[in-house]
A and B are shown apart, each in its own frame.
Chain A
Amino acid sequence: MSALNIFLFEFKHFSRSRDKVLAYMFFVLACIYALYNGFSLYNKQQATISSIEQKKQEDILKIKSWYDEGKKGPEDRPWIDITNPSWALWNAPTYTIKQPSPLLPLGIGQAEQYGFYKKITNWSSTYDNDMVEELANPERLVNGNIDFAFLILFLLPLLWIILTYNINGFEIDSHFNKLIAIQIRNTKSWILARLMFYVLLLWLTVTIFMLVVGVINGSVVSYSKLFSLIFLATTYLLIWALISLVIILKSKGSSFQAFTMISVWLVFCVIIPGALHLYASIQYPPNLMTDYLDTNRKEANEIYELPLDTLAKRIVNLYPELVKTQHGQDSVADELIVNNTVRAINNQMNKKTIEKIEQENEKKNELIKTSYWFNPVSFFQNKWNSITETDYYAYKAYRKNVQKAIDKKMELLVLECWDKRKVDKSTYENYLQLLTK
């Protein structure tokens, strides 16, 4: 019997096995549902971003109208003066947004654990309360989302087990394995050809779904990333095929195969990642961020207790170019200017503290990464999330962008306040341009 015949025979076997076809159809439906979920989250994030953009434009128009009408601010808040750079920048709506990756429908990853938009104010930091995730039912978060990555990494191996658990096992159970051996001579290639049918079937199914996402999000999707995902899925599938092949070759019957395969799945998908998760949590317990809390509360409070001259000097130390500004050349520190820009010192303190926090988080990540050689599912999971830009590092990069935006706003605030700039509409527009660059 040629390999092609075995292959075609396997197709017949598959199409006549009601339970296998049912399991396969179930998986296909799950894929459709998972993609629907992914697109739904992608569209929800896009809609939220659009509403933020709209609100931002409305706010800008309102402020511009104040300049046009010669107003300094809203009538019920007479202390606001938008001709002062501090108030002008306070009223220059600035947002840093993490656009959802066009590949998000293929893997939600850790996207539900983080915020994806941030309003940048003079008081912002990258660990503010508004950097948190969207409103969600915590018990739903515990169960997680049915996303495409979950289907590939966890359900695909289970489907694989259902499809292949009785290859050779059934023949052993029915005692005609010896008959097969006489007819086929090389039992290994017979098993391999049968397995290859399912490899091809699942590979085609998964690839088609992934290409569909490529087509739907065609204008924005990076094809190199999409092909990296297809490559990753193919490798993963082949690894499971190899594991099954070894189990089938050592087979004592279909029950043995099913038991061993499901045990391997349980060990690699649940037990090892779970054990590592527990170990990592014991080694690096959740950070309660007391350093950050201290910086923002006690230490920030202490800053405000310092004498004006000391504060002015510390601000100049941060921005040496301030000595050339109007206020920098004054002999007496102006209380309003210094108070309006003192936040720059807090920003610097925050950055130092946050760097330490990020380093702590990195230690935990290093521990996770060193486990990849015995914890391959976590490797594939994080690699997948990295390509779909939904992993920890994608959000770390986003936090860096937020910090850059804070720094930019802070520098502009300090320089403009110390230069005693009088802000008009064109200066305000210039601020907006500088902040959105």
Chain B
Amino acid sequence: MIEIFLNEWKGFYRNRLMAVVALLFVASLALVTWLGVVQNQKQIESQLKAHRHIRAQWDELETMNPHKAAHFGSYAFKPNTILNSLDEGVNAVTGKVLRLEGHTQHDLVYSEASQSLLVSKFGKLMPSLLFQFVIPLFLIFLAFNTYAKERDSGRLKLLLIQGTSLQKILFSKILSIWIIGVLCLIISILTQVVFNGNAFHADFPLRMILMISSYSLYYLIITTLTVLLSAIFSSASVSLSTTIAIWVLWTIFLPKIVGNAVEKLSPLPTRVEFQKAMDEDRSKGIDGHNPSGERKKELEKEILAKYKVDSLSQLPINFDGIVMQADEEYGNMVWDKHFGKLYQQMQSQKRNYQFSGIINPFASLQNLSMGAAGTDMFHHLDFLKQAEEYRRVFIKTLNDKMAYGGSKTGDWDWKADSEFFKSVKDFEYKPISIKTIFPKYLTDILVLVLWAVVMLTLVNYTSKRISIL
């Protein structure tokens, strides 16, 4: 088996065209990876710069009423992960800037895709594009006549007469081509490590293992399928066209059609419907700026009783701050209810999409690649969750200052000093750990493993059924 494997590689080496193409391909892969790193570093720098700029403005606040400061608010910039340079995932289509202020939870806005004409329907030329589109095609072209060539030239019979089994021949050929795909992956990852070495976090090795394993499995599936079809069909061109048709179906067509179908199966509300439902629920709570609500009266009674006084003017605290916070907390409940449902629906869409891996292993690969790079929907939702949690703490700090900082009810001109504003904690996004995200991708991993096992079993089965001599 090793001899056949080595012989196969010798064949690649001796084919000058093949050697040139491979060399060019490896060089382009390294170049693309480096450019991806450059692009990502530029984005990370600009996010950090924007973040520091916004925070500096907050730190420079002079005396100000805390509630006015809550409306002055802050911004969270969605950070790029280091592995964004390998697979950009949802980052190109989602917004980058989130406004954080009192009373309102905003949307992430200003996506890159909305800032120019459309360039590429398949995304930037990042390593993921090469890993997902080009390398599999490259493997198909290497594999489609590897068996047919031996059969048509009569070398196959010779090998079998010498005592080698067809099973060994097929598996050696699969292995020799598959390793090329894996080598391409390793080159790209090494380039990534060289140019990004300093910035890696503890999660990096696990994420890399997940990414390399997923792509390796997919390449094994593609290579095995091509060799299998090459063994089944009598003509190399028929096997090639069939494999390419499958590649088109998996890579170009099915992800879009399944994505659409999944969304149609469980459609998200329109923004108008969603906002209307939220407004309705919100209107049932306390309006921080509307002093005549029923709920507010109840809260007033409760606070007066707590401080054992008869009127708001006797309170040692500022009741307006309490009302603002009660309004926030009600708003938070409304947000949790509606956005919770929305995010659950998105996650259920994702789960349904994951099942499409049963007919399309490319879908599983895509999911795992984004998941490992930290650029999938789960990471995106996690950023939104952390930003919202921060917003709540941020606004509560300001409302508490308003309530207990020394002012009295109705004293809207009261101002907190600049030291207080400087003391308010800044937003820092902590990327979700791969261990947390891993269980969500078990389906994809299982599907890829299953595909690989089925493909290898089919090759094994076919090798015993084909009559050569």
Contacts of B119 in A (CB 8 A): 273, 276-277, 280, 368, 378
CB closest residue in chain A, given B46:
A285
B117 touches A382 (CB 8 A): yes
A281 touches B112 (CB 8 A): yes
How many Å lie between the Cα of A153 and that of B121 in the bound state?
10
How many Å lie between the Cα of A170 and that of B238 in the bound state?
10
B380 at the interface (CB under 8 A from A): yes
Q: Mark B105-117, 1 if CB is under 8 A from A, else 0.
A: 0110111111111
B118 touches A278 (CB 8 A): no
A235 at the interface (CB under 8 A from B): no
B237 touches A253 (CB 8 A): yes
A173 at the interface (CB under 8 A from B): yes
A286 touches B256 (CB 8 A): no
Contacts of A135 in B (CB 8 A): 268-271, 274, 342
A residues 97-132 touching B (CB-CB < 8 Å): 109-110, 113-115, 117, 127, 129, 131-132
A residues 281-320 touching B (CB-CB < 8 Å): 281-282, 284-290, 293-294, 297-298, 301
Contacts of A139 in B (CB 8 A): 89-90, 259, 350, 353, 370, 376-377
Q: How many A-B residue pairs have CB under 8 A?
A: 253
How many Å lie between the Cα of A33 and that of B36 in the bound state?
35
| B355 CB to nearest A CB, Å | 14
CB closest residue in chain A, given B98:
A129
Q: Is the interface of B mostly helix, strand, loop or mixed?
A: helix
**Interchain CB contact (< 8 A) of B256 among A146, A259, A378:** A146
A169 at the interface (CB under 8 A from B): yes
**Interchain CB contact (< 8 A) of B39 among A158, A253, A282:** A282
How many Å lie between the Cα of A406 and that of B243 in the bound state?
56
CB closest residue in chain A, given B349:
A137
Q: Is the interface of A mostly helix, strand, loop or mixed?
A: helix
CB closest residue in chain B, given A147:
B256
CB closest residue in chain B, given A117:
B272
B213 at the interface (CB under 8 A from A): no
Q: Mark A260-282, 1 if CB is under 8 A from B, else 0.
A: 00100010011101111111111
How many Å lie between the Cα of A44 and that of B268 in the bound state?
12
CB closest residue in chain A, given B275:
A130
A155 touches B253 (CB 8 A): yes
| A256 CB to nearest B CB, Å | 9
B252 at the interface (CB under 8 A from A): yes
B75 at the interface (CB under 8 A from A): yes
Contacts of B196 in A (CB 8 A): none
B93 touches A114 (CB 8 A): no
B350 touches A266 (CB 8 A): no
A87 at the interface (CB under 8 A from B): no
Contacts of B405 in A (CB 8 A): none
B125 touches A274 (CB 8 A): yes
**Interchain CB contact (< 8 A) of A137 among B43, B245, B253, B346:** B346
B333 at the interface (CB under 8 A from A): no
B129 touches A274 (CB 8 A): yes
B residues 220-273 touching A (CB-CB < 8 Å): 235-237, 240-242, 244-245, 248, 252-253, 255-257, 259-260, 262-263, 268-273
B330 at the interface (CB under 8 A from A): no
A281 touches B89 (CB 8 A): no
Contacts of B72 in A (CB 8 A): 297, 301
How many Å lie between the Cα of A145 and that of B253 in the bound state?
10
A205 at the interface (CB under 8 A from B): no
Centre residue among B248, B262, B380 by max chain A CB count within 10 A:
B248
B89 touches A142 (CB 8 A): yes
B15 at the interface (CB under 8 A from A): no
B145 touches A255 (CB 8 A): yes
B residues 360-378 touching A (CB-CB < 8 Å): 366, 370, 376-377
B26 at the interface (CB under 8 A from A): no
Q: A110-B118, A139-B353 are in contact. Are A281 and B124 (CB under 8 A)?
A: yes
B467 at the interface (CB under 8 A from A): no
How many Å lie between the Cα of A164 and that of B120 in the bound state?
26
**Interchain CB contact (< 8 A) of A48 among B50, B92, B96, B272:** B272
B133 at the interface (CB under 8 A from A): yes
A436 at the interface (CB under 8 A from B): no
B244 touches A262 (CB 8 A): yes
B292 at the interface (CB under 8 A from A): yes
- Beyond contacts A142-B92, A285-B42, A392-B118: 10 other A-B pairs, Cβ-Cβ < 8 A, are A19-B241, A113-B111, A137-B268, A138-B380, A142-B93, A173-B235, A262-B137, A278-B35, A281-B124, A298-B57
User: What are 30 A-B contacts defined by CB distance under 8 Å?
Assistant: A51-B272, A77-B290, A113-B93, A131-B109, A135-B342, A137-B268, A137-B350, A139-B376, A140-B260, A141-B93, A143-B256, A146-B257, A155-B248, A158-B252, A254-B240, A266-B137, A269-B122, A270-B122, A273-B122, A274-B125, A277-B125, A278-B32, A278-B39, A278-B124, A282-B35, A361-B116, A364-B116, A378-B118, A378-B120, A381-B118
Binding site for B on A (CB under 8 A): 19, 23, 30, 33, 37, 44, 47-48, 51-52, 55, 76-78, 109-110, 113-115, 117, 127, 129, 131-146, 150, 153-155, 158, 161-162, 165-166, 169-170, 173, 253-255, 258-259, 262, 266, 269-271, 273-282, 284-290, 293-294, 297-298, 301, 361, 364-365, 368-369, 378, 381-382, 385, 391-393, 395
